[in-house]
Structure 1
């Protein structure tokens, strides 16, 4: 007896022993869904289909065969024995197609399932990856610092190599154009600190020491720290975006092809400009912050500007100003090299430019605050 329920594409003749499978019709992508449904029902009824050999499979009725149909044939036969039996009855080109599809499905089926990891394992893995990235980033940063210092020393021996036009342009961009935002921010922070100091010190009848609080905090810490954070967000990101865009457009490769050193042409002018701009902006931040505190003292505490600056002159030593200013070139160098290094690390896409720009800002802010904290501890231990 012949099963006819699936006679559109295949039929199983059960008169002979073992049964004989007849394949027919178009085994193509157009019939892919229908073939899948019929094969599912057929295999549920005939579990021994995989035991057929070459003598018991008739593929002469197949009128068309493509990759999708070959995939369904592999699914129908299910075993290597039945598949080899079918290959023996097919023309060479169809046999090669079926064999390639079968090999692909076998390779895909042998892939090990993804191992399920616990929450603790996942957490430790992420911590390990973060530490590895931190180690690599630290090594790259130290190496880049060495390159820039070597270039600075080499160009100091030959002053004619300085690109003063580029340095002047960068000073205007990083210094002069940043004066309004630095002055405004430090002025407002100085006013806020004066308000807070007056509120706390009023309970002790010591509002006069608000002058010392404002002057001491801005000369030693706030002016240079706020300026460095602004430069990290404004200048480091600009350096990364500029060099990253040049990297994406292969302009840096063109500079190398011309026999020029990108460190000398692109990095040194930016470092020198920030080394000049940062101390000047820090000084402006000190003045603006103190003026903000003086304004609050004059309005809210009845401390006149004359009295304010008289107390300032008598109670604040010059060393506080020097301790604040000495940190400015260090912060400037760190901001410049991180911004330039992240720009050189851009891979070429717009997404990479955005990622490294964000990374430059985060790194510079973190390192600036870390260095400032370490410097504050050092100065305190030294009694300065």
Structure 2
């Protein structure tokens, strides 16, 4: 390997450039990027009219790039007649260099903001359409499962019931216990100021039975199970396992979506009831320690609350609806995963966020409905 170098000869016709050595990445490495600027300084205002390539070794795109930045389009194809292969490399590099597009102008911040809003609205519309399509397929698969119960994959149902429901009992019970305790603490501090200590039982019972138990259980399952559904189905989508199931004649909705949906519908009411019991226990414990309201009095007062059955019904009737929403969103996002890990991460995040938002929104809708029904 010969180090790249050059010599310049001047005559009346103009400058004659003699290239020496290998004008390649390796041959130019010894100059540490200084050969091009030196060539430009020595040429000055003179234009190169001819090339002497008799002492030049090899030429690659690195060497051609350095020459093109100094010589530009001043050289025609005849200057490379003795080394046509080197001339082709040079002409190609010059073409790319001279045809580089101008950098795009940076749009104003206000324009970018409205563009982002427009893209967001468009994405919301696209997600809504795809969600409706998924809902239609889900309804069809559910109807097919009810029509042909012999095709139901019972082992998958039992497995999902255990993983999505039974394994979630400890976290749901502990969280609801502390929620009930927090409500009792707030009630005790507030009601003691007015001498209405005994009404802390009503505050704890109504808030836990109507709202906190079912909402906390659903949100915990949204973070725990909805993300799990999206990750599991999305991973299978990435590995083309779902495509393989379709080739074998297996309906992915029957094998993957329906068992998860059924497990959530079965287990969320049970988890809601456990959350109610745990929340009441936490509230009773705090009432006993802070207000000196013993367990016997708490239970007696609990039994005298008007419409206690309605409050229990209101809490439990929300559970199946929340279960369908959590399971459907998780499976829908899993089915929408493309072939890369980044898509999987986005869909898992979207499953959790959308499920929690849907739970809070539906809870507000239920509150309005029960208000109109006087329940």
Q: Could you say whether these structures have the same fold, taking a TM-score greater than 0.5 normalized by the shorter chain as the test?
A: yes
Q: In structure 2, how many angstroms separate the alpha carbons of the residues matched to 1:35 and 1:266? A: 60
- Structure 1 residues 356, 27: CA separation in 2 closer, same or farther (over 3 Å shift)? same
Among candidates 277, 299, 307, match of residue 289 of structure 2? 299
How many corresponding residue pairs?
Answer: 370
- Structure 1 residues 269, 77: CA separation in 2 closer, same or farther (over 3 Å shift)? same
- Structure 1 residues 70, 222: CA separation in 2 closer, same or farther (over 3 Å shift)? same
1:10-29 per-residue CA deviation (whole Å, 9 max, x = no partner) reads 3131x323443333433222
Taking the TM superposition and a 5 Å limit, the aligned residue runs for 1:1-384 are 8-13=5-10, 15-32=11-28, 34=31, 37-44=34-41, 46-50=43-47, 52-53=48-49, 56-79=50-73, 81-87=74-80, 89-107=81-99, 110-317=100-307, 318-384=309-375
Report how far residue 90 of structure 1 moved.
Answer: 3.3
User: 8 Å contact 1:57–1:86 — kept in the other structure?
Assistant: yes
- Structure 1 residues 303, 35: CA separation in 2 closer, same or farther (over 3 Å shift)? closer
Q: In structure 1, how many angstroms separate the alpha carbons of the residues matched to 2:205 and 2:33? A: 82
Report how far residue 299 of structure 1 moved.
Answer: 2.6
- Structure 1 residues 290, 281: CA separation in 2 closer, same or farther (over 3 Å shift)? same
Report how far residue 373 of structure 1 moved.
Answer: 1.9
**RMSD of equivalent CA atoms:** 2.3
SS of 2:192's partner is helix
Report how far residue 8 of structure 1 moved.
Answer: 4.1
1:324-355 per-residue CA deviation (whole Å, 9 max, x = no partner) reads 11111111011101111222222344444333
User: 8 Å contact 1:243–1:343 — kept in the other structure?
Assistant: yes
Report how far residue 243 of structure 1 moved.
Answer: 1.3
SS of 1:204's partner is coil
Q: In structure 1, how many angstroms separate the alpha carbons of the residues matched to 2:286 and 2:5? A: 93
User: 8 Å contact 1:28–1:64 — kept in the other structure?
Assistant: yes
Q: In structure 2, how many angstroms separate the alpha carbons of the residues matched to 1:203 and 1:272? A: 48
Report how far residue 381 of structure 1 moved.
Answer: 4.1
SS of 1:328's partner is helix
325-334 or 284-293, larger mean C-alpha shift: 284-293
Give 1:4's aligned residue. none
User: 8 Å contact 1:49–1:77 — kept in the other structure?
Assistant: no
Report how far residue 227 of structure 1 moved.
Answer: 0.3
Report how far residue 206 of structure 1 moved.
Answer: 0.8
